[in-house]
Structure 1
Amino acid sequence: MASSEQPPPGDAKVGEKIFKTKCAHCHTLEKGAGHKLGPNLNGLFGRQSGTTAGYSYSAAHKNMAVVWEENTLYDYLLNPRKYIPGTKKAFPGLKEPQDRADLIAYLEQSTT
């Protein structure tokens, strides 16, 4: 499921604020940190969906087999339920392209 839209340049500082308000209640970023309602995102880039050890993913996430990188995350974060039909993720998505780009910039900086 590829989009022809390229993500704009992101601002990691702004993305950090987005993560704290929209994502941190369900996800952790630090290596070795446990899972919350959602999986720990450390090592996210280059990882296949549904493969984080110790987290119980929906069959939809496991079967999607998408590799997370800037473009796939940009598309996914617009509408997770549309991108991976059948996901148990309740997050409605980030409609603004710049918000998605900023969050991705922060994730790139914070999950490697």
Structure 2
Amino acid sequence: MRRFILVLGAGIFAIVPGYAQDAASGEKVFVQCKVCHQIGENAKNAVGPVLNGLFGRKSGTIEGYSYSPANKNSGIIWDEATFREYIKDPKAKIPGTKMIFPGLKDPKQIDDIVAYLKQFDATGKKAGIVPAESKLAKLQ
């Protein structure tokens, strides 16, 4: 009986998806966002603001971008939980936002895009990534 319960329990865990964050997959999900947003060292404001250093930043504060009053006055400090809620349905989280994206519904895509966005610091550099020139200089 004990063996049956263990096998049954293992089967249940095999059915329940585990959503590990995958930045490479997140980059593919971000293709949808590229229509309006840029990220990385050469990113510029476009239809939407630059997304470098998103987590920990106050909503509506990227210099040179014209935010909606709803976004500027939301009081949101972007953290993972807030972004996850927002990206599912932007207009529900911030009524009056200019963002017209209908939202991501797939939890795996949300996990992946969070992992992708978290790589970029406020300057657009990928955290923990050493430029090739620096690696070469250390070898010489």
The runs of 5 or more residues in structure 2 that have no matched partner are 1-18, 122-140
1:61-100 equivalences in 2 (<5 Å) = 61-100=71-110
Q: How many residues align?
A: 103
Question: Which residue number in structure 2 is paired with residue 12 of structure 1?
Answer: 23
Question: Relative to total residues, which structure has the larger helix share, 1 or 2?
Answer: 2
- 5+ residue gaps, structure 1, are 1-7
User: Once the two structures are aligned, what percentage of the paired residues are identical?
Assistant: 50
Q: TM-score, structure 1 length as denominator?
A: 0.87
Which residue identity lines up with residue 91 of structure 1 in the other structure? Answer: F
RMSD: 1.1
TM-score by length of 2: 0.70
**Greater relative CO, 1 or 2 (CA 8 Å, sep 6+):** 1
Is the Cα contact below 8 Å between 2:53 and 2:118 reproduced in 1?
no
Distance 1:33 1:76 in 2: 22
Q: Which runs of 4+ in 1 moved over 4 A?
A: none
Larger Rg: 2
Higher deviation after alignment, 97-106 or 26-35: 26-35
The Cα shift of 1:74 comes to: 0.6
